[in-house]
Amino acid sequence: MQIVTFGEIMMRLTTPRHQRFRQASNLEVEYGGGESNVAVSLANYGQQVRFVSRLPDNDLGECAIRSLRAAGIDTSYIVRGGKRLGIYFLETGAVQRPSKVIYDREDSSMATLSSGDIDWDRTFDKVSWFHWSGITPAVSASAAAVCLEACRAAAERGITISVDLNHRSKLWQYGKTPAEVMPELVELCDVIVGGSYEAERYFGIEVEDKEDFTPLAKALRQRFPKARHIVTTLRDSISASHNTYTALLWDGDTLHSSPTYELTHIVDRVGGGDSFMGGLIHGLIKWPNDLTYALRFAVAASALKHTIPGDVNLVTEGEVVELMEGDGSGRVRR
């Protein structure tokens, strides 16, 4: 069975060697985006994945497609059109200096996508899982509308829907707030990944004790009764170079938890959440009866992502399992 992820893939332009923007005489080029990063993770674990988006019909759109095809993703459902590929500029921080993102994605082909552009019948043929994130409805009104179209089409076909709530404060510039847009979309989801920050901004759900996930999970379930798994990741940022990372999953009954990874020193933090999401979907599909194992897989996958430059997580299932099973010593394999 196939998995579909839907969202925007952008050109990522990164300053090398912790340079600030004004120091860079060249920029590293890659192609990434929340939902395409999830697709790459899934393909690496051996899943059959389709990535759906809209890309301009020029060489840069072609470059983005090539990067996806290289990863083994089916790109034949991508629509070509619109004026430009979204871009994001990334300055990689260190120690107390945060990484900095400059988005240049307005009026991208994905932002100007319209209802009807994507043939959801064809796209969802033989599909069992659909994934989207809070970034897409944040991009433009029409992207939000197509996202709703997609969720409804998926729900009608009984496809499992997962969402990463993912709030990006620099987006949501088109005149609507997440609170106006997100509830209708999230109602259709089976798996929700998010935290108290999004719960408050998107749904007005506030909990007293932010340290305790169960009340928040219960409140989300009450509001979104279709959601069978409520998941959150917990990142403690000691510095831009040193984080800890763990996650929790509430299945309506039990709160599953994972070990905490000490991530020092992070090679590239971007895509850390997407690699968790990719690991979680794979885990839920492969080990549906061992939710703790699925969650631990997702967290170990994300830990490995922090050691790899770029947006995407280039690890196999075997490599993740090796870390899960306890070997974080990093001894040379030779």
- Contacts with a second copy, 233-262, as mask; x by CB under 8 A: ----xxxxxx------------------xx
Q: Is the peptide bond before 265 cis (omega within 30 degrees of 0)?
A: yes
DSSP 100-116: EEEEE-TT-TTTT--TT
The tokens 């300053």 sit on which residue?
A: 15
HSE, side-chain direction, 13 A CA sphere, residue 290: 10
Residue among 254 and 316 whose Cβ is closer to a second copy: 316
- SS3 state at 294: helix
Among 1, 46, 267, 290, binds a second copy (CB under 8 A): 267
Among 93, 183, 215, 259, binds a second copy (CB under 8 A): 93
Short-list 217, 237, 233, CA closest to 298: 233
Q: How far is the CB of 302 from a second copy (least distance, A)?
A: 11
Would you count residue 289 as binding a second copy (CB under 8 A)? no
Q: For the chain, how long is the longest CA-to-CA vector?
A: 56
Residue among 98 and 183 whose Cβ is closer to a second copy: 98
- Which long-range contacts link 234-238 to residues 24+ away (Cβ below 8 Å)? 234/195, 235/272, 238/264
Would you count residue 80 as binding a second copy (CB under 8 A)? no
Alpha carbons 323 and 308: distance in angstroms, whole number? 15
Would you count residue 48 as binding a second copy (CB under 8 A)? no
The tokens 């749904």 sit on which residue?
A: 203
Residue among 74 and 190 whose Cβ is closer to a second copy: 74
In the chain, the amino acid numbered 43 is: A
Contact 39, 7 (CB under 8 A): no
144-173 residues in contact with a second copy (CB under 8 A) are: 168-170
173-232 residues in contact with a second copy (CB under 8 A) are: none
By CB under 8 A, which span of 54-62, 156-164, 192-200, 201-209 interacts with a second copy?
Answer: 54-62
Among 2, 63, 257, 259, binds a second copy (CB under 8 A): 63
Residue among 103 and 287 whose Cβ is closer to a second copy: 103
Would you count residue 318 as binding a second copy (CB under 8 A)? no
102-141 residues in contact with a second copy (CB under 8 A) are: 102-104, 106-107
Q: How far is the CB of 29 from a second copy (least distance, A)?
A: 6
What's the token pair of residue 43? 């393909």
